[in-house]
């Protein structure tokens, strides 16, 4: 009974660590969103909603926010993969066991920093583009970025192969094996010569010291054992390095493909609705019909693929999320109209221009709010797809949970300190990186709870992550529950 209680307590503590760091990110994101959705900050969006329409604005904001989230995650994974690969290839040569703690700590730090910095840079750039060039500039940037990513995929792969060739790989192992073979041959030749000398000595009728002979044979036997042990250790180290390197290569290839293709469905949807808006059909029902048909066709083509890939799954989910954001944008404007109808029923007659302004303001506010929340869920889920496999494939669950939580907490403090320099857009993007790090921790909790053979620890972890997220998230039950579910589902996804 005492053992079960101990297991439950350990599971609860680890779950609470993951849930708490996820809940801690709620308030900074909400505060940043509140500032960004103020009327002054929304002015560029309110003006451009007349150009691209409510649906166009919704799809553009959704596609852009999700693209930033996905790109920053991939940037973090690439940085982590590079550091892990360098660590493995430089530390494993001639060493029988890799220092896993240092490996995952270095890769985790590099990945978190890469994700946070790239998110801040992309979000700041988007804010500058929107303020200076409006939705048309954002649309052109989104198209250009989507076209640029497939060639970047080729460049990444070429650079990755060149980097592998420059590191300590097969050539070093072959040299070390050859050196051991030479040592083994020299030892055999030496023993053969000693045996021949012994035989000649006996044939000549000469006596030799048995003690001296025993010492000689014992020395040679120990030397042979040392050589055999080194050969075995070298083989183990080579297998260990190859296994880790193959896993890192798999992760790298999957996420580079994910970077290249995942945002294309969302971009296509945003382009079509924006073109309708630019053509003067921004509020026409035909835009909604075209959007619905386009989402259905692209989703059908991706889902029926015989070679279904991770980027297709996330691309479909991102496209569906973009559609939902567009619907929420339309609904916000319709809510204003409904409110006006109620006022007219009470004898009030608001000005038509004022009604349009309020519709545009509410639509822009809803588009930005929904886009940031969707990006947050995306970042959390993609972080969980990293934390879950780490627990299942390599690192210990407690190390990943605590390590990711510590990194997320440290980055959160750093973002708050640097917020005057980052600006609102840069801070929002950096916070997405923090959310991704918290997603790694929550994903690790989910994977540990499923993998653990001890039911008390499993249920303790589940209770801990829920309670920790609720308490630190100011008891936002709906939002917290949705985030826990998303992180848990993504943690079980095999992205590799």
Could you identify the residue written with the tokens 């035909």?
A: 286
Judge whether residue 96 has pLDDT over 50: no
Tell me, yes or no, whether 359 lies in a domain.
yes
Which pLDDT tens digit goes with each residue over 451-487? 776 777 778 888 888 888 888 877 788 888 888 888 8
> CA nearest 431: which of 101, 33, 40?
33
Range of the domain at 28: 2-146+261-491
Instruction: State the DSSP code for 475.
Output: T
Which pLDDT tens digit goes with each residue over 130-151? 888 888 888 888 889 888 888 8
Judge whether residue 202 has pLDDT over 70: no
**What is the rounded distance in angstroms from the CA atom of residue 470 to the CA atom of residue 270?**
35
More confident residue, 403 or 456: 403
- What are the strands, taking DSSP E only, across 183-300? none
- DSSP-derived 3-state class of residue 494: coil
Tell me, yes or no, whether 31 lies in a domain.
yes
pLDDT at 470: 87
- pLDDT above 90 covers a percentage of the chain that reads 1
The alpha carbons of the chain give a radius of gyration, in whole angstroms, of: 30
**What is the rounded distance in angstroms from the CA atom of residue 250 to the CA atom of residue 388?**
16
Percent helix, strand and coil across the chain, each to the nearest 5: 90, 0, 10
Tell me, yes or no, whether 234 lies in a domain.
no
**What is the rounded distance in angstroms from the CA atom of residue 142 to the CA atom of residue 68?**
10
DSSP secondary structure letters along 376-433: HHHHHHHHHHHHHHHHHHTS-HHHHHHHHHHHHHHHHHHHHHHHHHHHHHHHHHHHHH
Q: Are 409 and 24 in contact (CB under 8 A)?
A: yes
Tell me, yes or no, whether 101 lies in a domain.
yes
Which pLDDT band holds residue 210 (cuts at 50, 70, 90)? low
Tell me, yes or no, whether 422 lies in a domain.
yes
Give the DSSP H/E element, type plus range, for residue 62: helix 43-91
Tell me, yes or no, whether 203 lies in a domain.
no
Tell me, yes or no, whether 256 lies in a domain.
no
Task: Report the number of distinct structural domains present in the chain.
Answer: 1
Which pLDDT tens digit goes with each residue over 99-119? 566 777 788 888 888 888 888
pLDDT at 186: 65
Q: Are 252 and 81 in contact (CB under 8 A)?
A: yes
Which pLDDT tens digit goes with each residue over 320-362? 889 889 888 888 877 777 776 666 655 566 666 677 778 888 8
Tell me, yes or no, whether 318 lies in a domain.
yes
Which pLDDT tens digit goes with each residue over 11-60? 888 888 888 888 888 888 888 888 888 878 888 888 878 788 888 888 89
**pTM of the shown model:** 0.83
Tally Cβ neighbours within 10 Å of residue 133.
Answer: 15
> CA nearest 396: which of 108, 116, 109?
108
Segment among 172-181, 236-245, 474-483 with least mean pLDDT:
172-181
Q: Which residues contact 173 (CB under 8 A, 6 or more apart)?
A: 93, 234, 238
Six token digits for residue 45: 């969006």
Which pLDDT tens digit goes with each residue over 211-226? 655 666 666 667 776 6
> CA nearest 146: which of 51, 271, 232?
271
pLDDT at 94: 46
pLDDT at 93: 47
């Amino acid at each position: 009974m005492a053992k079960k209680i101990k297991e439950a307590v350990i599971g609860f503590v680890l779950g609470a660590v993951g849930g708490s760091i996820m809940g801690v990110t709620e308030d900074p994101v909400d505060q940043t969103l509140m500032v960004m959705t103020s009327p002054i900050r929304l002015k560029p969006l309110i003006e451009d909603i007349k150009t691209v329409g409510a649906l166009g604005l919704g799809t553009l904001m959704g596609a852009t926010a999700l693209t930033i989230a996905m790109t920053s995650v991939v940037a973090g994974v690439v940085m982590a993969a590079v550091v892990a690969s360098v660590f493995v290839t430089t530390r494993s040569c001639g060493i029988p066991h890799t220092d896993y703690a240092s490996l995952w700590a270095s890769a985790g730090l590099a990945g978190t920093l890469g994700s946070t910095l790239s998110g801040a840079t992309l979000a700041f750039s988007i804010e500058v583009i929107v303020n200076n060039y409006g939705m048309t500039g954002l649309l052109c940037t989104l198209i250009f970025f989507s076209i640029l990513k497939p060639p970047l995929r080729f460049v990444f792969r070429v650079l990755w192969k060149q980097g592998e060739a420059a590191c300590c790989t097969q050539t070093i192992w072959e040299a070390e094996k050859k050196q051991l073979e030479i040592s083994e041959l020299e030892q055999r030749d030496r023993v053969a010569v000693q045996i021949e000398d012994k035989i000649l000595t006996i044939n000549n009728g000469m006596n030799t010291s048995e003690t001296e002979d025993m010492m000689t044979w014992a020395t040679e036997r120990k030397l042979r054992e040392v050589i055999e042990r080194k050969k075995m250790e070298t083989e183990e180290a080579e297998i260990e390095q190859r296994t880790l390197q193959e896993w890192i290569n798999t992760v790298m290839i999957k996420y580079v493909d994910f970077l290249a293709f995942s945002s294309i469905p969302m971009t296509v949807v945003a382009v079509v609705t924006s073109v309708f808006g630019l053509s003067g059909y921004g509020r026409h029902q035909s835009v909604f019909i075209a959007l619905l048909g386009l989402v259905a066709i692209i989703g059908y083509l991706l889902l029926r693929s015989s070679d279904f890939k991770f980027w297709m799954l996330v691309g479909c989910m991102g496209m569906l999320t973009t559609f939902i954001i567009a619907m929420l944008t339309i609904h916000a404007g319709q809510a204003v109209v409904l409110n006006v109808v109620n006022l007219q029923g009470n004898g009030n007659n608001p000005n038509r221009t004022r009604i349009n302004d309020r519709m545009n303001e509410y639509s822009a506010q809803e588009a930005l709010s929904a886009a940031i929340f969707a990006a947050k869920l995306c970042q959390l889920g993609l972080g969980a797809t990293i934390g879950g496999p780490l627990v299942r494939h390599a690192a210990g669950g407690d190390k990943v949970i605590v390590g990711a939580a510590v990194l997320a907490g440290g980055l959160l403090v750093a973002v708050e300190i640097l917020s005057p320099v980052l600006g609102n857009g840069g801070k929002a993007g950096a916070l997405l990186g923090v959310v991704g790090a918290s997603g790694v921790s929550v994903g690790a909790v989910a994977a540990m709870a499923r993998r653990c053979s001890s039911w008390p620890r499993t249920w303790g972890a589940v209770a801990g992550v829920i309670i920790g997220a609720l308490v630190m998230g100011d008891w936002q039950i709906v939002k917290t529950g949705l985030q826990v579910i998303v992180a848990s589902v993504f943690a079980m996804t095999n992205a590799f």
